[in-house]
Structure 1
């Protein structure tokens, strides 16, 4: 939970710093979008090798490297003298951040019995970081220079690293009922890193996992496209610009706090969806949420021209739906893949989510710069509808029966 909160604490602070960098370095939206995409891309692209390392060496040491490395990367931002130095620091952050999800989710999938509930709490921890990172960034920027803010944001990650050095746990507790599965999941010689990565990957993509991977990529494209530019878009809404903060808060960017509200509402979506993964087929849950996200993308422009309270409602529903999909696809990986390739499976998952998904940042920057906001949200709606269609195809695919299968996971082949 500390690791998940820390990863997203850093990740969602970047879009608010993006607004500052636009002014400080006097660059275009398209260029800054490319720079940020360069940082976010390895967050996903590095997940695959990280997943291989998790299967070979276990999750704890990798999570500790992730926490310490991300913190150091953010400290280096404070010493950047150009937008290109910013790009190098973000690239370093992305590489180190890529370790977390394969390691953390593999740990959950093999270490706990009630996966749905734990995914929910794990998701809430992530959303706490997602909400507090931008909130802390926006608030600190009112008082301090952005370079000091970058250093301050690194402190919680360093503290989490110190705690993690003392933490003890059994990463294979949920596999004890099946000694064969546990053995294959914990012995280096049986892992995809030690055997054939190619063969393990081919086996995964010959199964239902190929549909899960496509679904997660659609989630990543929507997630990155909407969250990266939402602070800038919200700050430009006439209804929010018309609200005058008190004199002592005259520099307050109201749109930044509406953005935080989106992320706070996501905590509710994480919890509700996490509980539902034990009760409904994950593919059906994914399809339903995708349809809601498509509707929300189409609704952005009409809502953006309305009053403050309708915008508040919209942001709450968007946050709830955007993060409700996460426990569903995380559980989908767990029920459609064998335990011995779980690290590799989550590696591919976050390659799609944050690696391929980061392409939406670069595309979104070009659309906002050269076309229109309508074009951006139209493309987001397409991503969601494609994801819903793929999820429908997944409904009748059989799940993988292992010792780690959730006790209430529905057999979707029925």
Structure 2
């Protein structure tokens, strides 16, 4: 990587880690808030949803803003907004103030993925490597957020913990203000430097129609199926692991009373995911995005089905399967991120990633409701078959894209123009 690549990598890695640092620390506060404000689980769940909903739904306007105002500026606003939201939480005296803080967090966090990935796709020459390190940084935040929050809550009041968690975001803002790089270094011949003019409604609709009349339409659906698989598995896997008889054979020291053995396996899965992110990012330089997606979706489908027999086996088999699953679950992410860069024009890259993460985090979250219904009314095997079906659908679409569907769509679009 050259100096510009390294500067963008450092800036976006800090942003990606902190988005997930804040995101995964929020559930740790739930138990404390239930006792503090004496509210029902249903009401608090609704309040927390106010934070998570904009995280996915705000990705599309975030992508539009990235194209308009520039990616670096938007990421700095994102970091400052997330930190401010946790300071709001630290002084919250009611459930309504908690709701306000979480809503602010969701709005601020929603712009990161379209802005950060757009910056990498237009500013970085060694894109695959930076996608890999960017993904690893996200996994670091995913693992450290709940770990640090839970550890601090053992010793400190939750208000102080929320304030402490906000500090890294402010430090990242200071770091970002000093970072210098060319955000369009990789596409200088394709797009003019600097932010685009503000899009009118008609221009937004025109650009959106152009995107969805191209191969990006297939990429969008592929990413949505990945989001359905990702959200469904990661939301319910901890609960599933907790209920397995094999977990009774794994004990923890008395000093760690209250920590479920399954939690160690789940955190380990996320840590292994860092290796998957790196391997997937490096492979994007050697394998076409569509071909890589097709192969990895097949692996993920097989792994989901494999949970059916393995959950009845011993602890060792479960640990190994979770490790392999964590590796491939995160190895696929650099491939769909790169697919967006390959199948979209540079001057609509922010809009493209906005739609991408609307599919990943917004539409993908539907599997939480779908899979929850299946788990409650049907067998565990049915749940894993459902999840495998999401991956199978992604594999079919990715194989079609690899077989030349993109050329067919682009040829049709050219004839229509």
Please give the range of the TM-score, normalised by the shorter of the 2 chains.
Answer: 0.7 to 0.9
2:167 corresponds to which residue? 155
Cα distance in 2, alignment partners of residues 142 and 376 from structure 1:
35
The farther-off stretch of 370-379 and 2-11 is 370-379
C-alpha separation between the residues in 1 aligned to 2:245 and 2:336?
Answer: 36
Question: 1:26 Cα shift?
Answer: 7.1
How big is the shift at 1:297?
1.9
Q: Report the TM-score when normalising by structure 2.
A: 0.85
Determine whether 1:11 maps to 2:33.
no
1:259 to 261, 266, 279: 266
2:149 partner SS: helix
Give the Cα separation in 1 of the matches to 2:379 and 2:26: 23
Structure 1 pair 66–326 and aligned structure 2 pair: CA distance change class (3 A): same
Secondary structure, counterpart of 2:55 in structure 1: helix
For the residues of structure 2 that align with 1:33 and 1:287, how far apart are their CA atoms? Answer: 36
Inter-partner Cα distance in structure 1 for 2:267 and 2:129: 25
Q: Check 1:353–1:23 CA distance in 2 against 1; reply closer, same or farther (3 A cut).
A: farther
Question: What 5-or-longer segments of structure 2 have no aligned partner?
Answer: 1-12, 408-417
Which residue of structure 1 lines up, in the alignment, with residue 3 of structure 2? none
Q: How far 1:233 sits from its partner (Å)?
A: 3.0
Checking the alignment, whether the CA contact within 8 Å between 2:69 and 2:195 is kept in structure 1 is no
3-state DSSP of counterpart to 2:332: helix
Is structure 2 residue 194 aligned with structure 1 residue 186?
Answer: yes
3-state DSSP class of the match of 1:12? helix
TM-superposed CA distance for 1:118, in Å, is: 1.3
CA distance in 2 between counterparts of 1:92 and 1:108 reads: 26
Out of 127-136 and 212-221, give the one that drifted further: 127-136
Residue 109 of structure 1: aligned partner: 121
User: Alpha-carbon deviations, 1:339-359, whole Å to 9, x = none?
Assistant: 111111111111111111122
Check if 1:2 corresponds to 2:14. Answer: yes
Deviation, structure 1 residue 119: 0.9
What displacement does 1:324 show?
0.7
- Equivalent residue for 1:134? 146
Distance 1:290 1:19, change over 3 A: farther
Distance 1:158 1:252, change over 3 A: same
Which residue number in structure 2 is paired with residue 166 of structure 1? Answer: 178
Q: SS of the residue aligned with 1:188?
A: coil
Aligned residue runs from structure 1 range 291-302, under 5 A? 291-302=298-309
Indicate which of 239, 246, 254 corresponds to 1:232: 239
Query: Does 1:95 pair with 2:83?
Result: no
Match of 1:124? Answer: 136
CA apart distance, 1:385: 1.1
CA distance in 1, matches of 2:87, 2:374: 32
Q: Which residue matches 1:362?
A: 369
- State the secondary structure of the residue aligned to 2:241: helix
- Offset of residue 155 of structure 1: 2.4
- In structure 2, what is the Cα distance between the partners aligned to 1:142 and 1:249? 11
Against the structure 1 CA distance between its residues 361 and 32, is the aligned structure 2 distance closer, same or farther, given a 3 Å change threshold? farther
For structure 1, the residue ranges without an aligned partner over 5 or more in a row are 400-414
How has the CA–CA distance of structure 1 residues 202 and 131 changed in structure 2, closer, same or farther, with 3 Å as cutoff? same
Tell me, yes or no, if structure 1 residue 42 matches structure 2 residue 51: no
- 1:47 and 1:101 in contact (8 A); partners too: yes
Question: After the TM superposition, which of the residue ranges 206-215 and 130-139 deviates more from structure 2?
Answer: 130-139
8 Å CA contact 1:294, 1:382 repeated in 2: yes
- Report the TM-score when normalising by structure 1: 0.86
CA distance in 2, matches of 1:284, 1:22: 47
d(CA) in 2 for partners of 1:170, 1:196: 26
How far did 1:203 drift? 0.2
User: How big is each residue's C-alpha offset from its partner over 1:47-105, in whole Å with a ceiling of 9 and x where there is no partner?
Assistant: 11111111111011110111111222234445567777655543332221111011111
Inter-CA distance 74–372: structure 2 relative to 1 (3 Å threshold): farther
- Equivalent positions of 1:4-403 (< 5 A) are 4-17=16-29, 27=40, 36-78=48-90, 86-144=98-156, 146-176=158-188, 178=189, 181-183=190-192, 186=194, 188-189=196-197, 192=199, 196-395=203-402, 396-398=404-406
Contact 2:251-2:261 within 8 A present in 1 as well:
no
Deviations 1:155-214, CA, capped at 9 Å, x for gaps? 2222212222222221111123x1xx231x63533x646970000000000000000000
User: Quick one: distance in 2 between partners of 1:20 and 1:368?
Assistant: 27
Q: Secondary structure, in 3 states, of the residue corresponding to 1:305?
A: coil
The separation in 2 between residues aligned to 1:325 and 1:31, in whole angstroms, is: 35
Alpha carbons 1:277, 1:327 under 8 Å: kept = yes
CA distance in 2, matches of 1:225, 1:33: 17
Structure 2 distance, partners of 1:145, 1:367, is 38
